[in-house]
Structure 1
Amino acid sequence: MARRVFFSFHYQYVWKVNQIRNMPNITGTAAAGFQDASLWEESKKKSDKAIKNLIDEGLKNTSVTVVCITYGTANRDYINYEIDQSLARGNGLVAVQIHHLKDSNSQTGSPGAIPSKIEANGFKSYKYTNKEDLARWIEEAATLAGK
């Protein structure tokens, strides 16, 4: 059975995230179901409460949250909300640095800090290498969370 995973990331980096999200045995929900930046841009016109409701809906029936790390991730309000809600739901967490992946302009970025709540709660962080490793890290996070 496929594991439902919530991908938490800054919408500006959806190109990088989409390179890794579609893998066998993982049913990914990208940032409350937003799979491209245009949908997220539209959602920003809504209230803070509406966006949080969309995030809460996206987290339903997931067992692991993958926090995709780029420069500035740790300071993003909605990413921190996604981490808090994931912890409240008992989701496993794994931080995955993706700054080194190329964007749609073939540019890479700078590494970002790992949000402190991830490792403070016993979860791990990694630099993305390949889909097989990511699948293993997701399962490890699920095990750590008892899922």
Structure 2
Amino acid sequence: MARIPVFFSFHYANDVMRVQQIRNIGVLEKNEPLSPNDWEQLKRTGETSVKHWIDENMKHKRCVIVLVGAETAKRPFVRYEIEKAWNDGKGLFGIYIHNLRCPRNSTSAIGQNPFNNFTIENGTKMSSVIHCYNPSTYNEIAQNMESWVNLAIAEAQRR
């Protein structure tokens, strides 16, 4: 089976090690995160350059997965990625990752649902139509990831 091309949206500084666990599940197309040095270098080039990088890296993806840590909902580039995914008609959903262990700081506090920050047609909160899953274990994510992606893509096609 072909791997599904997805884009991961997350707060780099806090969650990159948790995100790497999810990338290693194997049902999705590999797309390695930038190294910390590359991410810092990209950020120094300015907001426009970062948005261009996001646009280019999201271009051929079928789904955007927001990996929700303690501060993800507050991150401006995560907000940009969510809005872009919605406007581009891509599959979109979130996964709370606070229960995944990080070697640096163990588990973390649950973050806010980032889809609560958006209003769509008729004043509806995006969080009422976009799923944000709260798995308790890595295995739960691994067992459900492919079906969550397929569901999000199907739902986007119906919007």
TM normalised by structure 1 equals: 0.88
Q: CA deviation at 1:136?
A: 1.3
Q: 1:7 to 1:28 in 2, by over 3 A?
A: farther
Alignment pair present for 1:140 and 2:147 = no
2:12 is matched with 11
Q: Are the structure 2 counterparts of residues 119 and 76 from structure 1 closer, same or farther at C-alpha, using a change threshold of 3 Å?
A: same
Report the CA distance between 1:36 and its aligned residue. 3.3
User: 1:62-111: per-residue Cα shift (whole Å, max 9, x none)?
Assistant: 11100000112111100000001111111111110001111122511100
Structure 1: distance between partners of 2:39 and 2:103: 17
Bigger helix share: 2
Q: Which has the higher strand share?
A: 1
Separation (CA, whole Å) in 1 of partners of 2:10 and 2:36: 11
Q: TM-score normalised to the size of structure 2? A: 0.82
Q: State the partner residue of 1:22.
A: 24
| Structure 1 gap segments, 5+ residues each | none
Distance 1:91 1:28, change over 3 A: farther
Count of residue pairs the alignment pairs up? 143
Q: Give the distance between the partners of 2:153 and 2:69, measured in 1 at CA.
A: 23
2:132 maps to 1:125? yes
Aligned-residue sequence identity (percent) comes to 29
Q: Which runs of 5+ in 2 are unaligned?
A: 119-125
State the 4+ residue runs in structure 1 displaced beyond 6 angstroms. Answer: none
SS at match of 1:102: coil
- Secondary structure at the aligned position of 1:145 is classed as helix
C-alpha contact (below 8 Å) 1:11/1:36 kept by paired residues: no
Greater Rg over alpha carbons, structure? 2
| CA–CA separation in structure 1 for the residues paired with 2:23 and 2:134 | 15
